[in-house]
Chains A and B, each alone.
Chain A
Amino acid sequence: MTTNKQLITIKGTRDGLTLNIDDSCSFTAILEELDQVLSTQYIDDDSPMITVNIRLGHRYLHNEQEQILRDLIRKKNKLVVQSIESDVILKQDALQWKEENEVKVITKMIRSGQSIEITGDVLLVGDVNPGGKLTATGNIFVLGHLRGIAHAGSFGNRNAVVAASYMQPMQLRIADYISRSPDYESSGVYMECGFIDEKAEKIIIDRLQILTQKRPELNGFERRILNG
């Protein structure tokens, strides 16, 4: 509140302080003003830690700049940075996000000895034959017979699911869990899905319809966009 044009506005909310930082000035200008603004704030020694949420608007900060900002605020008494939010992200991050969240459609028979790895979700129109393997970092949906190995959430996403029109897998893997087919001869089942049951700590195979209850987040992309 010392300069003519205010670069930083501070709002107190129930969750702590919100710093709205102007996105048209230079980074050093912010640092200077922030230093002044926070120094002028009166802080009671007995008050608890105050969390700070920073809103950057259309400004992108790379990691070093973020760290400088965090360090500066941490030096002030009783202030701790909870989050730094920006309306913009790097193109690279956006592409990666798209890659990870897109449902990729593959039309192919995955035969014995063949292995396909996908980043993100995959919709396979075709079969996975015994000895074939389909791996995805996201969910796996098979429009066809799943007779081979399917590995969903291969980077550790335990919420990933495997769904198939016809489920008779040799092995079902989700994140770090593995389940295999029984040793006795068994026929497959139609329209089923596999997911990790946290209580039972194993992969459960059940009717497709159960997914609505177990994995409601599968609905739509909007939620995922908001969650980043």
Chain B
Amino acid sequence: MGEAIVITSGKGGVGKTTTTANIGTALALNDKKVCLMDTDIGLRNLDVIMGLENRIIYDIIDVAQERCKLKQALIKDKRFDCLYLLPAAQTSDKSDLTPEAMVQMITELKQEFDYILIDCPAGIEQGYKNAVAGADKAVVVTTPEKSSVRDADRIIGLLEKEDIEPPHLVINRIRNHMMQNGDMLAIDEIVQILSIELLGIIADDDEVIKASNHGEPVALQPNTKASIAYRNISRRILGESVPLVSLEDEKGILAKVKKFFGMRS
């Protein structure tokens, strides 16, 4: 039996889709069978970031409305045999998908895959409800900005009402120099406010944007800051305990993070 993990944030543009693509890719690198599910109906992006846009024939709505079999809609990744994508529909509406249909699809996918990563749309309406419906775990993505931390807090509040494990936190787009100057929220401050387990931190890296534009998830690159961070996150999901990665020239922050972890463990 596989595990369904929803990746959500509340606020748009914090990197849900990028995180989904990269964690999925990193899990596939570890020889796990992974299915990525895009639930952002009408604004699909995950296929673009994975570079699989040209392969789409059927989508998630076709499956939900029984125009095709689930297996027909799954797209195999061009790099890994164990990585699949279930794309969102571009022409339909978020209300065309129901939580019941999601639960049914996820139950079917769990038979086959080790991990099902659900990319959640921004917002807390129908799209969010669909994405969360069949999930066992949740990952909340935020950036070190007040507005996205506020929305993450709201989403965590909503997730607590669902029948899933306490969510884990990914802090994305960390700019070291700004954090050191106090122009961005510090990591331990964010963790303290949200008071959930920290799954990983990802530096703001130009390579991420470059890679996304080429349709090649950054996690495939050997040693950029972001790719190491994503691979570490996937290892933590697999149950390994990996210390937070050093992000160069930022001993201050790292010391704080280490101190935080020391306090927790």
Q: Is this pair of chains taken from one and the same complex? A: yes
Residues of chain A at the chain B interface (Cβ within 8 Å): 109, 111-114, 127, 129-131, 145, 147
On whether the beta carbons of B150 and A112 are closer than 8 Å, the reply is: yes
Contacts of A114 in B (CB 8 A): 157
**Bound-complex Cα distance A96 to B195 (A):** 36
**Bound-complex Cα distance A130 to B154 (A):** 10
On whether the beta carbons of A113 and B154 are closer than 8 Å, the reply is: yes
CB distance from B189 to the nearest CB of A (A): 11
Is B120 part of the contact surface with A, judged by Cβ < 8 Å? Answer: no
Is B263 part of the contact surface with A, judged by Cβ < 8 Å? Answer: no
On whether the beta carbons of B195 and A113 are closer than 8 Å, the reply is: no
Contacts of B156 in A (CB 8 A): 111
On whether the beta carbons of B195 and A131 are closer than 8 Å, the reply is: no
Contacts of B153 in A (CB 8 A): 111-112, 129-131
On whether the beta carbons of B193 and A147 are closer than 8 Å, the reply is: yes
**A-B contact list, 13 entries, CB within 8 Å:** A109-B157, A109-B195, A111-B154, A112-B154, A112-B157, A113-B154, A113-B158, A114-B157, A127-B195, A129-B193, A130-B153, A131-B150, A131-B154
Contacts of B160 in A (CB 8 A): 111
**Bound-complex Cα distance A112 to B154 (A):** 5
Closest A-B pairs by Cβ, 7 of them: A111-B157, A112-B153, A112-B154, A113-B154, A111-B153, A114-B157, A129-B153
**Bound-complex Cα distance A127 to B151 (A):** 16
> Which residue in chain B gives the minimum CB-CB distance to A110?
B157
Q: What total of chain B residues lie within 8 Å of the partner, measured CB to CB? A: 11
Residues of chain B at the chain A interface (Cβ within 8 Å): 150-151, 153-154, 156-158, 160, 192-193, 195
CB distance from B129 to the nearest CB of A (A): 15
**Bound-complex Cα distance A127 to B150 (A):** 14
**Bound-complex Cα distance A115 to B5 (A):** 28
> Which residue in chain B gives the minimum CB-CB distance to A126?
B195
> Which residue in chain B gives the minimum CB-CB distance to A108?
B160
On whether the beta carbons of B150 and A130 are closer than 8 Å, the reply is: yes
> Which residue in chain B gives the minimum CB-CB distance to A114?
B157
Contacts of B193 in A (CB 8 A): 127, 129-130, 147
Contacts of A130 in B (CB 8 A): 150, 153, 193
Contacts of A129 in B (CB 8 A): 153, 193
CB distance from B184 to the nearest CB of A (A): 13
**Bound-complex Cα distance A113 to B123 (A):** 13
Contacts of A131 in B (CB 8 A): 150, 153-154
Which one of A113, A127, A130, A147 has the greatest number of beta carbons of chain B within 10 Å? A113
> Which residue in chain B gives the minimum CB-CB distance to A111?
B157
Contacts of A147 in B (CB 8 A): 193
Contacts of B154 in A (CB 8 A): 111-113, 131
**Bound-complex Cα distance A166 to B158 (A):** 25
CB distance from A150 to the nearest CB of B (A): 17
Which one of A109, A127, A145, A147 has the greatest number of beta carbons of chain B within 10 Å? A109
Contacts of B151 in A (CB 8 A): 112
**Bound-complex Cα distance A216 to B123 (A):** 48
**Bound-complex Cα distance A131 to B147 (A):** 11
Contacts of A111 in B (CB 8 A): 153-154, 156-157, 160
Contacts of A127 in B (CB 8 A): 193, 195
**Bound-complex Cα distance A123 to B192 (A):** 20
> Which residue in chain B gives the minimum CB-CB distance to A113?
B154
**Bound-complex Cα distance A129 to B153 (A):** 8
Which one of B158, B160, B193 has the greatest number of beta carbons of chain A within 10 Å? B193
Contacts of B192 in A (CB 8 A): 145
Contacts of B195 in A (CB 8 A): 109, 127
> Which residue in chain A gives the minimum CB-CB distance to B193?
A129
Contacts of A113 in B (CB 8 A): 154, 157-158
**Bound-complex Cα distance A111 to B158 (A):** 9
CB distance from A70 to the nearest CB of B (A): 53
CB distance from A133 to the nearest CB of B (A): 12
CB distance from B6 to the nearest CB of A (A): 18
> Which residue in chain B gives the minimum CB-CB distance to A147?
B193
